[in-house]
Amino acid sequence: MATITIERVAKRFGEVTALAELDLSVADGECLALLGPSGCGKTTLLRIIAGLESQTSGRVLIGGRDVSALPPRKRGLAMVFQNYAVFPHLTVYENVAFGLRMAKADKTRIARQVEKTAALLHIEPLLQRHPAQLSGGQRQRVAVARALAVEPAVLLMDEPLSNLDALLRLEMRAELKAVLSGAGTTTIYVTHDQTEAMGLADRIAVVHGGRIEQIGTPSAIYDHPATRFVGGFVGSPPMNFLELPVRDGHADLGGLALPVPQGAGDRVLLGLRAEDVALAAADEDAFPFILKVAELLGPQILLTGMAAGGQPMRVVLSAAGPLPPLVPGSEIALKPDRTRLSWMNAAGHALEIRS
């Protein structure tokens, strides 16, 4: 049972608070992504779990056992780093077997585990090569295989794909998801790339300023952000936020009245995904959108313009459907999907969170 429990873990560097008493639980066999911008504290938390950094307060439990004071080698975990960290003078076989040899495993188990993890990562033909003879993607596979070969209770991954080019990153992300699912190892995956987090993780913890803003499934994080930061950080393009006046329980979106949740006050933030808007027919209630730029992105068109009192907004439409003339400065009538609206107060906190 390799559950991970973080209890009120804080980390301070002098007057600077890197982590502010975080609580977090990761279930056995779950892959949880720590997602956030550089400097938000996600790698610091990962290093505390690994034992490479000591917390100022709080404790870390793995499998119900308090490991807060234990060195990394006694925590039953393995790590995969951004820079591969493979040994250049060892063959791929020797790299994958390294952790087992350090644990003084017998030769039979070493051979069995190397063969098993090499097959899992599709590196069997590379076992007798040295890292200098491998591509970046192949080296990353070796690093993952080395971590999995020791059958760790917990696998910690610190932006392992960020050094790869875009196409290889896409390929490795799909392979890595299959590997982690097959291995059933409890995994914490640190990344600043929301696409990686959405694609790989069972749940995502969005970290900002040393605090966890929201924890949930990828769909819950995307569809129902708890804060303006989460909505703006997750999604490409990010969620639109429009500040609207409220009268008689309805927000005014350029003349279109939308009912708001209770407690909205006299002004409200409307969060609206770019794809949750459609062209309005002549007889439909709509709001005006002033086009500035239209960009063709393969099967979609990204429109950048202004709505509701000149506030910036992006809209994604299908390039296959009938479209009005996309002339900069022209006005387009749009209708929002009313089932997909996110309402927030002036401070940027959701007025209602749906599961």
Closest-CA residue to 284 (of 343, 332, 342, 340): 332
Q: Residue 324 — very low, low, confident or very high, per pLDDT cuts 50/70/90?
A: confident
* Domain regions of the chain by residue span: 4-228, 237-344
H or E stretch covering 246: strand 240-247
Alpha carbon distance 69, 150 (integer Å): 22
pLDDT tens digits along 44-59: 999 999 999 999 999 9
132 contacts 88 by C-beta, under 8 angstroms: yes
What tokens were used for 238?
């990010």
pLDDT tens digits along 326-345: 999 999 999 999 999 999 99
pLDDT surpasses 80 at 321: no
Q: Give Cα separations from 161 to 14, 58, 77, 233, 331 (angstroms).
A: 32, 30, 20, 19, 42
289 contacts 334 by C-beta, under 8 angstroms: yes
Tokens 């590196």 found at = 123
Q: What is the average pLDDT across 187-197?
A: 93
Query: In CATH, what number does 4-228 get?
Result: 3.40.50.300
SS3 at position 169:
helix
What is the reported pTM?
Answer: 0.89
Tokens 């490991």 found at = 67
Class for domain 237-344, per CATH?
mainly beta
- Average pLDDT of the chain is 91
Tokens 């803003």 found at = 213
Q: What is the average pLDDT across 123-149?
A: 89
Q: Residue 221 — very low, low, confident or very high, per pLDDT cuts 50/70/90?
A: very high
In the chain, the amino acid numbered 296 is L
pLDDT tens digits along 73-132: 899 898 888 777 889 999 999 999 998 998 889 999 999 999 988 888 888 999 999 999
pLDDT surpasses 60 at 355: no
- The answer to whether the 4-228 and 237-344 domains have the same CATH topology is no
pLDDT surpasses 80 at 166: no
82 contacts 143 by C-beta, under 8 angstroms: no
